[in-house]
Structure 1
């Protein structure tokens, strides 16, 4: 709902904060609906981008802005390819896990089961896997930085993975939903003695850029 002509600006009920919250809550419901079948196609992605532009583009919310920026980047060439579809589905699953009406804000992922102490990062022939939303940019860009340094990219959590990098964009609710398939599997492998390290994007970026 957008108050295009400020018709409700002075109303005690239809004030802008309430409009923003209702729109944000509606976005959570929309993303839940779009991901219900376990896949996301180009028409759905284009609809979501258009809906955000109509209802929430003005909202100064880091999570909504990141979602919109990633959608725009994925659709910039006019095609949502298979890898982008998989990444978008994961982002939307995390977003729809936010309870309706819960406040949204950026937060790090320090409460996740990261390796402590943090490991040294080797690149050559080391296999990396990314999960969550990366502050650095789209996942493909992050993977390219690894490949440029002689590293490899894994397809899923397994004994072949050396580093699982957890993206640093999210909020408290996303942290709980992000502690899901990939991270849970990595923890199980690590606890069984497999040398897989769970690291934060902050550590990954520190090693990359100093």
Structure 2
């Protein structure tokens, strides 16, 4: 895997003895509150960025820094576009679902929905779609790697999609075998004979980087 595994595993954000627990709890609460209506707008994103700057940036913690850096990148042009809004919402759902104080905060998606064995990945002319939060980085950067290799990016789960890549920054939902709507739809299509493969980000990264 590229970068984040050890950063997340050793994160002070999820070890109450090393941080101000109230601030950590507050961030989870803020994330849950902002994501409660199923959408994130420009004003909410700017509020979250400012809140982290005031309350948590001093911690120098990898988890907080990742959220902050991705949020800052989204707002760097002064506009939170629709795609960024969806990605930010998914990230906040991840934060709201993670138990504060838990050491196991980097979880590989359980094997049930994934293709087994993992398929060979072809790039040229193949359509990829991402779901969840990617350890590699912002979704646009992940998509750029596909496009550079001649692949295509899908807009939604359909029979035209060849690979659904499941982000590796998981939450406790995986432990209860519940999956997002993209994965459920992909499973239905796969069981119906559609040539769509559901793969982990770990497999995707291994093929990309060896």
TM-score, L = length of structure 1: 0.81
Which whole-Å CA distance do the structure 1 matches of 2:175 and 2:59 have between them? 24
Aligned to 2:45, the other structure's residue is in SS state: helix
Q: Return 5+ residue gaps in structure 2 as ranges.
A: 1-15
Equivalent residue, structure 2, for 1:12:
none
1:47 to 2:59 alignment:
no
Contact residue 164 and residue 196 of structure 2 kept, 8 A: yes
Q: CA RMSD in A?
A: 2.3
1:121-159 Cα offsets, whole Å, 9 max, x none, are 011111100011112211011111111111111111122
| Cα distance per residue 1:49-76 (max 9 Å; x no partner) | 1111222224465443322221121112
Measured after TM superposition, the shift of residue 116 of structure 1 is: 1.0
C-alpha deviation, 1:103, in angstroms: 2.0
* Cα distance in 1 for residues equivalent to 2:157 and 2:146: 17
Q: Please state if 1:29 is matched with 2:5.
A: no
Is the Cα contact below 8 Å between 1:63 and 1:106 reproduced in 2? no
Matched, 1:130 2:126: no
Q: Measure the CA separation in 1 of the matches of 2:61 and 2:164.
A: 27
Bigger radius of gyration: 1
Paired positions, count: 193
The 1:61–1:190 alpha-carbon spacing in structure 2 relative to 1, beyond 3 Å, is: farther
Q: By how many angstroms is 1:170 displaced?
A: 3.3
Q: Which protein has greater RCO, CA pairs closer than 8 Å, 6+ apart?
A: 2
User: Which residue matches 2:162?
Assistant: 162
Map residues 1-210 of structure 1 onto 2, 5 A cutoff. Answer: 17=17, 20-59=20-59, 61-99=61-99, 101=100, 103=102, 105-112=104-111, 113-171=113-171, 173=172, 175-176=174-175, 179-210=179-210
| TM-score (normalizing by structure 2) | 0.81
Q: Residue 143 of structure 1: SS of its match in structure 2? A: helix
Give the drift of 1:120. 0.5
Cα deviation digits, residues 151-179 of structure 1 (max 9, x gap): 111111122211011111234x2535872
Structure 1 unaligned spans of 5+: 1-15
Q: Deviations 1:64-118 (Å, cap 9, x if unpaired)?
A: 332222112111222212211111112212322335x452654242414221111
Once residues 143 and 62 of structure 2 are traced to their aligned partners in structure 1, the CA distance between those partners, rounded to angstroms, is 23
